[in-house]
Amino acid sequence: MTTKTLINNIETLSVTLNEGQLIQFLDIMDAMAALLAQAQGQDVAKQVQNYAEFSAIQAAGIH
């Protein structure tokens, strides 16, 4: 799956979630990003910060 397809799927899913569900979903995505960064040996804090900023932009654009 391409990144663009993944983002489109997340956007489609997010419109079906209420605010609480969306927050939980984004928390899970943040945790997954941290695990992936750790597995890749990257700076976890920087990766989580970048993803959190992206999540905030996505959430603000959805509602």
Q: How many residues are given for the chain?
A: 63
Contact present, 10 and 47 (Cβ < 8 Å): no
Instruction: Quote the CA–CA distance of 13 and 22 in Å, as a whole number.
Output: 9
Per-residue model confidence (pLDDT) at position 43: 67
pLDDT in tens, 13-61: 888 999 999 889 889 988 988 888 888 776 666 767 777 777 766 665 5
Is the pLDDT at 10 greater than 80, yes or no? yes
Q: Is the pTM of this model over 0.75?
A: no
CA end-to-end span of the chain, whole Å? 26
Q: Where are the domains of the chain?
A: 3-62
The pLDDT value recorded for residue 60 is 59
